[in-house]
Amino acid sequence: MKRLTPYLLALPGWMWLAIFLVVPMAAMASVSLQTGNAIDGFAMTFSVSNYTDALSRYSTQLVRSLAYGGAATLAMLLIGYPVAYWIAFKGGHRKSMYLFLLLLPFFVSFVLRTISWGFLLADDGILFGTLKGWGLLPADFHVLATAFAVIAGLTYNWLPFMILPIYVALERVDPRVVEAAQDLYASRTAAFRRVVLPLSLPGVFAGVLMTFVPATADPVNAQVLGGTSNTMIGNIIQTTYLTNLQYPTASALSFTLMAVLLVGIFVYARVLGTENVLEAAAR
């Protein structure tokens, strides 16, 4: 009995995973190989062509999603790292307040926040409209419905998920280790490059994972900020499923996206050397 206790304690977790992850995935895998339509019903035909058709029709959007997701992740890293660094090392006793401020936007719905950005960035909205009124911007200047708007929206929405893991990693860096590097003739820059940066890599690794995946799959930002020419794969899946009711195609697309992301993560982990990263993190 004693030996079984840990497994029994883990049982609710396993059941959760089974019911809410494994079963739906299996169902979706099955749907992705079926043919038919919403009125007459779908039947299993093991039609692999669902995948090849979806891929050839929507490869542009898939590649665009990866590009936007990647660009947004890079932007989040460039903005988020200094913020995390500043809170961890210069935050003093106000650290928790800064972290709270970082999470404050989450008290408002994600979609609402994105729509407000739509208002803010509108061609004749309070920002650009005013600037155009003053003659500081040309009349045909616009941000909305560009790739920039979508990437900026993605960056804004997931930035905290980049900052928090990096903050946690930096927070755990012993300041005396940094002093030791300086004592051993390292300049501030060298101490950062040789000691602080490597020790924070586990946080960067986690941050990239936590932001790249949802940003690539997100339909909301492209829909609200991107206009018609910046459609991402998330939008395609959404309309295929909810509007066109082509469940097999939508499922096949979802699996394709998942496979691409998993391969991407795997390559990324190999390149960055998770072994090393996790080992440093284990301390």
- State the residues that interact with other proteins by CB under 8 A: 174, 176-177, 179-187, 190-191, 194-195, 198-199, 276, 279-280, 282-283
Output the smallest distance, CB 207 to other proteins, in A. 18
| Nearer residue to other proteins within complex by CB, 99 or 280 | 280
**Rounded distance, CA 43 to CA 36, Å?**
6
Beta pairing partners, 41: 37
Q: What tokens were used for 227? A: 């206009």
| Nearer residue to other proteins within complex by CB, 124 or 174 | 174
DSSP track, 102-138? HHGGGGS-HHHHHHHHHHHH-TTSTTHHHHHHTTSS-
| Nearer residue to other proteins within complex by CB, 104 or 278 | 278
| Nearer residue to other proteins within complex by CB, 139 or 282 | 282
Output the smallest distance, CB 247 to other proteins, in A. 49
Output the smallest distance, CB 177 to other proteins, in A. 5
Q: Say what the alpha-carbon torsion angle 157, 160, 165, 167 is, to the nearest 10 degrees.
A: 150
Output the smallest distance, CB 96 to other proteins, in A. 20
Beta pairing partners, 42: 36
Output the smallest distance, CB 216 to other proteins, in A. 30
82: left (phi over 0), alpha (psi -120 to 50) or beta: alpha
| Nearer residue to other proteins within complex by CB, 199 or 261 | 199
Relative to beta strand 41-44, strand 34-37 is antiparallel
